[in-house]
A and B are shown apart, each in its own frame.
Chain A
Amino acid sequence: GNSVTQMEGPVTLSEEAFLTINCTYTATGYPSLFWYVQYPGEGLQLLLKATKADDKGSNKGFEATYRKETTSFHLEKGSVQVSDSAVYFCALRPGQGAQKLVFGQGTRLTINP
């Protein structure tokens, strides 16, 4: 089946620290991979995506590389800010034609000044 496993949270860091949130997946076919972010009291927003192996998605200083050999899509940022505090979801869409996103369980990130 299709599934996404994320790093357990919560994660607490100091401002300007380096961030990694691990994400691994199991999927049939060739999935597209996503990171969504949910700020307090809000819905989900697409942060970045990658649609094929070795693609790197990037946005707002965040990056993730689609690694087929390790079935991973880890989220990284070199220097986090207090405003990055949110819940981060890794997700996949399993192959062309599949309509449904499969989400990981979410990782709550808190950045302290």
Chain B
Amino acid sequence: EADIYQTPRYLVIGTGKKITLECSQTMGHDKMYWYQQDPGMELHLIHYSYGVNSTEKGDLSSESTVSRIRTEHFPLTLESARPSHTSQYLCASSDPSRGYTEAFFGQGTRLTVV
């Protein structure tokens, strides 16, 4: 059973607000990822991190930013939310003891910007 948590599960927020989506894992994984899942279900990698103080942009350009100050914590921030940011956001981490071959996912945050 994976121990990776995302909060909040659901968020409805007005345009222009700043939001932070939280992601925490208690497994000591050094690699963490954020995916954006569109209504058609497709997953797009938007950010990843190799460890503390490491952040990289993913395959899909995103206006969000991330930080990695602690191993267990990988928050995603939107400085000014827009309706186009409405989506499901999934956080994941991967296990060095298994050669990083698989990723463990949180339950996701469904964001709606009105």
Residue B45, interface by CB 8 Å: yes
A55-69 CB mask vs B (1 if < 8 Å, else 0) is 000000000000000
- B109: nearest chain-A partner, CB-CB: A43
Residue of B48, B101, B108 with highest tally of chain A CB at under 10 A: B101
| B7 adjacent to chain A (CB < 8 Å) | no
Interface size bucket, B side?
20 to 34
Chain A residues with Cβ under 8 A from B31's Cβ?
A: 99
A35 to chain B, nearest CB (A): 11
Taking CB atoms, residues of chain A closer than 8 Å to B48 are 99-100
A105-B50 contact, Cβ under 8 Å, with A43-B105, A45-B105: no
User: How far is it, in angstroms, between the C-alpha of A84 and the C-alpha of B104 when the chains are bound?
Assistant: 20
Complex alpha-carbon distance, A102 and B101, angstroms: 12
- Establish whether residues B102 and A105, one from each chain, have CB atoms under 8 Å apart when the complex forms: no
Q: Does B67 contact A (CB under 8 A)?
A: no
Interchain CA distance A46-B33 in the complex, whole Å: 16
Chain A nearest CB, measured from B101 CB (Å): 5
Q: Within the assembled complex, what's the spacing in Å between the Cα atoms of A43 and B110?
A: 11
Which residues of B sit under 8 angstroms from A43, Cβ to Cβ?
Answer: 6, 90, 105-108
Asked, given contacts A43-B106, A43-B107, A43-B108, whether A108 binds B41 with beta carbons under 8 Å apart, the answer is: yes
Question: How far is B15's CA from A4's CA once the two chains are assembled, in angstroms?
Answer: 35
Per a CB cutoff under 8 Å, which of A46, A96, A103, A108 touches B102?
A: A46
- Of the listed residues A49, A99, A106, the one surrounded by the most CB atoms of chain B closer than 10 A to its CB is A99
Interface string of B88-114 (1 = CB under 8 A from A): 001010100001111111111000000
Also in contact, A93 and B106, with CB within 8 A (given A103-B43, A105-B40, A108-B41): no
Contacts of A106 on B, CB cut-off 8 Å? 40-43
Tell whether A44 is near chain B: CB-to-CB under 8 Å.
yes
CA distance A34 to B94 in the complex (A): 14
CB distance from A58 to the nearest CB of B (A): 15
Q: Which residues of B contact A (CB under 8 A)?
A: 6, 31, 33, 40-43, 45, 48, 50, 58-59, 90, 92, 94, 99-108
